[in-house]
Structure 1
Amino acid sequence: MSSERPLKELPCLSDNLEGSLCWPQRTKLKRKPSCSGMLDTENTPNELIQQWSPPHKKSLTSAKGKENEENVFVLARRPRKKRESTAGLCWDSLPDELLLGILSHLSLKDLLRTSRVCKRWHRLAFDESLWHSVDLVGKALLDAELGQVLSAGVLRLRCPHTCIGQPSFKSTEKLHVQHMDLSGCTVETSVLEDILSRCRHLQNLSLEGLLLSDSIIHYLSQNPELVRLNLCGCSGFSSEPLAEMLKLCTRLEEINVSWCDFKGLHVQAIANNIPSSVTQLNISGYRQNLSMEEVKSIVERCPDLTNLDLSDSVLVTTDTFPVLQQLYSLKHLALSRCYQIHPASLVDFEKFPNLQTLEVFGLIQDSYLPILSKGLPHIQINTLPFSTIARPSSSMRKDHTLWGMHCWLVYKH
């Protein structure tokens, strides 16, 4: 009688043997929790991250026969011991300080991508030390991500000519931003009020061409460190908060209030309350509202003016020359389209020994310009058609500068 037993009676080999085969009962695998679901997304610009993230790969499924539908074939193996790497260092072993130094050299696009690697990299990618300066020029629409970027601790923000929606701040904490350019943005006044109400450390601000309110001017007065303010072409606020703001912002050095929707009271508020710290002033475009009295008041209150623009003021005449001559530090003067000034009287500027540039567009013909330049050899005439006072960057510059400071995190290169 044969001692061999039927195959069906053979016991299943032990699961502990490497390379053994068995048919265990079907067990449900527990899915590991996703890392991204546990990340703190309070100050995370999710819209920008998703825009630059690679598309998710779809899992491939293959149709199998029904013969093994009940029993799943599993190849069981012992877990191999992890070999200690001696060839080099692992990313996880690097300290936070070294990783922050590496991340500081990434572009905005790459930095947002690395924030999705793991929880630790997400935390480091949004460290305040990496978000000191951001340039969002090229982003047509800024919505919730603007509030998240500002809340990340941005000190310098450049996003002119952008459509701003609702920033959606998650907390009531004050912002750290010091230099901000919102020139020409499409933004609701209420949204602008919400942003500026959180600012207490502004040093340079440009709101050129925006519709403002008395509340916005009041919020500006709560920034005593304000140095440069560009309100060119702004409207929507009265003279009282303007005067109060000028009284409280005693560190102002450059202010551009040209071509605003001003009346006589606004011009008087500036002339009677402008701080003595101002060295560059653009108050052009007020035709019948800027009189000789306002010019005298400005000169008396700001004796250290180096750059003054009085263009497009019909009431400015040659009688203002002796008054302007009291400004011993005056280097740049603009009197373009002040039609009450006779071209022949421009030779009197030879009495201004420190004057370097003179803008008189519309007062003299091109044929007379060489004769005037010969009479004033120490002065450059009609070289700057556009004022640069308090503006974040010159119209001729194409780089990512903000009042001479560079922005490292750039939306588009």
Structure 2
Amino acid sequence: MAKHSMPLQDLPCLGPQGSMLSHRMNKRKSRDCLSEGLDTECTPTELIQQLSPRHKHQRLIGKGKENGSNQFVLARRSRRKKECLSSGISWDHLPDELLLRILFYIPLQDLLRMSVVCKRWHRLAFDESLWHSVDLEGLTHMGPALQQVLKYGVRMLRCPRSFVEEMHFTGTGPLQIALMDLSSSIIPTSALESIICRCRLLEYLSLEGLQLSDTIISSLSQNPNLLQLNLCGCSGFSAPALADMLKSCTRIKQLNISWCDFNNDHVKSVVNNVSSTVTRLNFSGYRENLTLDDVKVLVTRCPHITALDLSDSTLLMADSFPVLSQLKDLVHLSLSRCYHIHLAALTDLGQTFPLLSVLDVFGIVNGSHLSSLKKEMPRISINHMPFSNIARPTPDTRPVSCLMWNRKCRLRFRL
């Protein structure tokens, strides 16, 4: 090396007469000075100024001239400080609780995408706290997705108008579902049995329009906390199974059991076993099966009914009004298409039911007669609700949304 060339950092020069001991001491002194400077809070520029020769000028910082005529100097930050700085912004150092709180605001599709990043994120993405409520409305071939969602401990499940192929659950433990809407879905009876048979905590349930079985109805008896049950348009179960279920579910407040595939025995099972806690009942659609005697039994068993729908019961006549007058809390009465009820008998309903505020008599009163009836009973809203919302998860008066019994699902699948 030429005598005039300089290393990256000035070191003490030793002449030929210098001893080895002097060389080692100078080298140790230089190292101590370097480490002392790096352990301080100085910036790299300040360290360079301390360790560089005083008679040399610091290089001018110029863009694109790092290798110019000025002296080129290197400085290195300690490894310990690097680790400290990087740990403050690393996802790996965040606790699970904080990450779960962040993931709580991520949509369903994004949550599934991030679950493949690493093992830890996969575990967090499928934590039960994130899958508390799921909306899979309209999803086709939903079997695998539904099976996974049930495994993650979902408590509120909304999937109306969905298609579920045949599926078999591997687990045998009870499910955590408390609210479930499977209305108007296409699902095999065996698959539905595998779900309902594992439910013990149901509070709100809608199986509207589904093909059921005695096994499903009997399994509902294992849910003593059931508050709202919608079986509108269901079929496939017997009268004894229905009677046993109604005897066991003693806390039901809203029951929609309209337009089912019923015979006289089914109707008798309902009126003789329905819980006295029922306050809203839809028992419409039984043209030739519901009689005045059935209404008498029903009123005696459930004296606290506030909303009653007996539409399309063609055997009912005006003589049913004195029986119904025993319902002192009645607010909403539906008698649509009960064609044997004469128009003149409706004018006295305002006095018969002092709390009545809604009356549905579609098919009985229309045109000019409807206007006259509204004038005679101004405090009663007449023919404003063509569809009943008793025990239904999404009332027809609301716009289409992901609400279910006035609750919104957090994770929602969007087509």
Pairwise mapping of residues 81-230 of structure 1 onto structure 2 (< 5 A)? 83-86=82-85, 88-230=88-230
Q: Deviations over 1:13-51 (max 9, x none)?
A: xxxxxxxxxxxxxxxxxxxxxxxxxxxxxxxxxxxxxxx
User: What stretches of structure 1 of length at least 5 have no aligned partner?
Assistant: 1-79
- Deviation of 1:194 (Å): 0.9
**Residue matched to 2:270:** 270
- For the aligned residues, what is the CA RMSD? 1.4
Q: Find the aligned partners of 1:336 and 1:302 in 2 and give their Cα distance.
A: 21
TM-score, normalising length from structure 1?
A: 0.79
Q: How many residues align?
A: 334
SS at match of 2:83: coil
Give the drift of 1:85.
Answer: 4.8
Query: 1:399 maps to what in 2?
Result: 401
Matches within 5 A, 1:219-298: 219-298=219-298
Q: What letter matches 1:84 in structure 2?
A: E
Secondary structure, aligned partner of 2:212: coil
TM-score norm. by structure 2 comes to 0.79
Q: Is the 8 A contact 2:138 2:163 kept in 1?
A: no
How far did 1:318 drift? 0.6
User: Which deviations, in whole Å up to 9, do the C-alpha atoms of 1:121-148 show, x marking residues without a partner?
Assistant: 1111111111110001131221222111
Aligned AA for 1:315? L
The correspondence of residues 228-377 of structure 1 with structure 2, limited to 5 A, is 228-351=228-351, 352-377=353-378
2:318 counterpart letter in structure 1: T
Offset at 1:167?
3.7
Separation of aligned partners in 1, 2:191 and 2:254: 26
Q: Which residue of 1 aligns with 2:43?
A: none
Paired with 2:138 and 2:299, the residues of 1 have a C-alpha distance of 41
Q: Distance in 2 between matches of 1:308 and 1:386?
A: 13
- Retained in 2: the 8 A contact 1:217–1:237? yes
CA contact (8 A) 2:138 2:160 kept: no
**1:146/1:167 contact within 8 Å kept:** no
Q: Is the 8 A contact 2:299 2:327 kept in 1?
A: yes
> Contact 2:205–2:230 (CA<8 Å) still a contact in 1?
yes
State the structure with bigger RCO (CA 8 A, min sep 6), 1 or 2: 1
One-letter code aligned to 1:182? L
Contact 2:360/2:382 (CA < 8 Å) preserved in 1? yes
Q: Residue 381 of structure 2 corresponds to which residue in structure 1? A: 380
Comparing both structures, which one devotes a greater share of its residues to helix?
A: 2
Gaps of 5+ in 2: 1-77
Per-residue CA distance 1:228-258 (angstroms, 9 max, x = gap)? 1111111111100100000000010111111
Task: Report the 3-state secondary structure (helix = DSSP H, G, I; strand = E; otherwise coil) of the residue aligned with 1:255.
Answer: strand
Q: Return the alpha-carbon distance in structure 2 between the equivalents of residues 310 and 171 of structure 1.
A: 42
Cα displacement string for residues 310-366 of structure 1 (whole angstroms, at most 9, x for unaligned residues): 000011111111111111111000000001100111011111110010000000122
SS of structure 2 residue aligned to 1:92: helix
Greater C-alpha radius of gyration: 2
Report percent identity of matched pairs: 54
